[in-house]
């Protein structure tokens, strides 16, 4: 069984090897799978998005943002509080303009800091995941710290260009996913 650190190294390399066309085409297919899922869950209104760090070839969630805005959903994202490394929740205005922070993360130019209490769905960044919904992130623990206090009713959806690993040993603080969407399939855990 691979360790989380081995998976982190392996999937960083796999993602690094993707060209921009693969990232964009895969992101659009993930959006299409997400729309399939969303059609069956139209009652959901409050969505938390991560936005992609281009140099890490993350899934381009701006395609999902566009779909959610057309459906008039309420959107949120996060920014890191530098003092305590926690993620703070920001409510996104429609058609928000973005700038890049020092890590290359797109951050809205205008937003309102809010409580995450209304969030119903969180799209979660990841490097790897397994068939039980355990995920491997970049190792900083930001999202586990953000997801931990949220209601158990919040749906946690990973987005990945890759299929799941068989299994790996999660850490005690890890918060598992409910779903993971790939270009070809939706995995439910």
Q: Which residues are annotated as a binding site?
A: 4-8, 58, 135-143
What the block records as the tokens of 92 is: 């996104």
First-residue to last-residue Cα distance in the chain: 20
Q: What residues are designated binding site for substrate?
A: 58
* Calpha distance 95→88 (Å, rounded): 20
* β-pairing verdict for 179-181 and 135-136: unpaired
| Residue in this structure with the two tokens 């969180």, named with its chain if needed | 122
Of 106, 57, 112, 61, nearest to 90 by C-alpha is 112
What the block records as the tokens of 18 is: 């993707």
Q: What residues are designated binding site for ATP?
A: 4-8, 135-143
Of 142, 98, 91, nearest to 114 by C-alpha is 91
* Calpha distance 131→165 (Å, rounded): 7
Q: At what angle do helices 20-39 and 62-70 cross, to 10 degrees?
A: 30
């Amino acid at each position: 069984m691979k360790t989380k650190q081995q998976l982190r190294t392996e999937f960083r390399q796999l993602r690094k090897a993707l060209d921009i066309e693969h990232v964009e085409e895969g992101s659009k297919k993930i959006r299409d799978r997400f729309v399939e899922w969303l059609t069956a869950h139209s009652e959901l209104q409050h969505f938390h998005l991560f936005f992609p760090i281009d140099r890490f070839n993350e899934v381009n969630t701006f395609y999902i943002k566009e779909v959610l805005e057309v459906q008039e959903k309420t959107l949120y994202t996060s920014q890191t509080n530098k003092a305590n490394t926690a993620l703070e929740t920001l409510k996104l205005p429609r058609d928000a303009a973005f700038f890049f922070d020092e890590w290359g993360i797109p951050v809205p130019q205008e937003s309102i800091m809010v409580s995450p209490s209304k969030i119903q769905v969180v799209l979660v960044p990841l490097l790897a995941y397994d068939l039980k919904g355990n995920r491997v992130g970049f190792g900083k623990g930001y999202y586990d710290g953000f997801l931990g206090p949220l209601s158990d009713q919040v749906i946690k959806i990973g987005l990945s260009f890759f299929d799941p690993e068989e299994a790996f040993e999660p850490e005690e603080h890890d918060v598992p996913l409910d779903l993971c969407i790939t270009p070809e399939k939706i995995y439910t855990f």
